[in-house]
A and B are shown apart, each in its own frame.
Chain A
Amino acid sequence: MTADTLSRVFSALADPTRRSIVARLAEGDATVNQLAEPYRMTLQAVYKHLRVLEDAELVSRPHGPQPRPVHLETKAFDVMDAWIERYRRRAEQRYRRLDAVLAAMNETDDEDGAHRGRNDGDDHRG
């Protein structure tokens, strides 16, 4: 993916309606009518969103005399995975900070435990 396609992908997905369309298509192909159903918008507006997604090569819509279902391209799944991976990494960063907090708690708790142990006459040692 070039930087140019990447920025097209990002701006295509910056819109919540288009993200929602992508999420719907992740479950399976759908016709434009089916895609329009959950939204209070004209078919024309849905076609407009689809064109943006098509330009970003996230969806494909075979042209022909019969309306064909809209299909989510593999790249879209990869981008969604990358999204989830970003979210996961943020969580992992958060939990690494928690690791450090817990390590500090362990030290304090150990000191308390050792202190109590001495007061108890070292019953639990040896």
Chain B
Amino acid sequence: MEPTVAETMETIIEADPKLPIIRMTRDFAATPEQVLRAHTDPVLFAQWVGPDGMDTRIEHWDARTGGSWRFVSVREGVEYAFRGCFHEVRRDRIVQTFTFEGEPDGVALETLWFEELGPGRTRLRTQSLVDSFEGRDAWLASGMETGINEGYAKLDRMLADGAV
């Protein structure tokens, strides 16, 4: 943990080279309670979780330790369902599982930490653990199938920008 409170405006990502883990860090201009509430209140959650151009329909939501959840994302009439369990929900963290129902054997174990940086500032750290590097690559590449054109366009731009 850094001793100084540096602001992480853009999402920082790290794919662990030794473990099939994806870690992300992002700061928010809100209290930890608010960031937690945006993750546990189904009405608020549905407003931000879905990818652009997708509507999110919460089917089941019990954001308590031992509870569970299920939501469906819809794009152009095609539905993608996700579900999991809230293993632990408390002030400073959420531990939950995450499964895409199209790949029911793939389960990610996610931990979210809500850390107060100062008045009205919160650092969200997330960690997703999957069961293999192959599984992690599948997560990273997810959307490649559905959004292949978008992927091409973005990578084309990156190549044009000299980023690759």
Cβ contact within 8 Å between A93 and B155: no
Cβ contact within 8 Å between A82 and B155: yes
**Cα distance A22–B152 in the bound complex, in angstroms:** 20
A13-B51 CB under 8 A given contacts A81-B164, A82-B158, A105-B38: no
A16-B134 CB under 8 A given contacts A6-B159, A97-B47: yes
Number of A-B contacts (CB under 8 A): 106
Any chain A CB within 8 A of the CB of B49? Answer: yes
Q: Which residues of A contact B100 (CB under 8 A)?
A: none
Cβ contact within 8 Å between A105 and B47: no
Q: Which residues of A contact B134 (CB under 8 A)?
A: 16, 19-20, 23
- Give the total of A residues in contact with B, Cβ under 8 Å: 40
Any chain A CB within 8 A of the CB of B29? Answer: yes
User: Taking the nearest CB of chain A, how far is it from the CB of B30, in angstroms?
Assistant: 4
**Cα distance A97–B47 in the bound complex, in angstroms:** 8
Among the 9-residue stretches A50-58, A61-69, A84-92, the one with 4 or more Cβ atoms under 8 Å from chain B is A84-92
User: Taking the nearest CB of chain A, how far is it from the CB of B39, in angstroms?
Assistant: 9
Indicate the size class of the contact surface on chain B. 35 or more
Q: Which of A83, A94, A103 contacts B49 (CB 8 A)?
A: A94
Chain B 123-155 interface residues, beta-carbon cutoff 8 Å to A: 124, 133-134, 137-141, 143-144, 148, 151-152, 154-155
Q: Which of A84, A95, A99 contacts B140 (CB 8 A)?
A: A84
**Cα distance A106–B159 in the bound complex, in angstroms:** 40
Chain B 24-67 interface residues, beta-carbon cutoff 8 Å to A: 24, 26, 28-30, 34-35, 37-38, 44, 47-49, 51-52
Q: Which residues of A contact B156 (CB under 8 A)?
A: 3, 6
Any chain A CB within 8 A of the CB of B95? Answer: no
User: Taking the nearest CB of chain A, how far is it from the CB of B51, in angstroms?
Assistant: 7
Among the 9-residue stretches B8-16, B76-84, B86-94, the one with 4 or more Cβ atoms under 8 Å from chain A is B8-16
Cβ contact within 8 Å between B13 and A91: yes
Which residue numbers of B lie inside 8 Å of A, CB to CB?
10-13, 15, 17, 22, 24, 26, 28-30, 34-35, 37-38, 44, 47-49, 51-52, 120, 124, 133-134, 137-141, 143-144, 148, 151-152, 154-156, 158-159, 163-164
Which residue numbers of A lie inside 8 Å of B, CB to CB?
1, 3, 6, 10, 13-14, 16, 19-20, 23-24, 26-27, 78-79, 81-95, 97-103, 105-106, 109
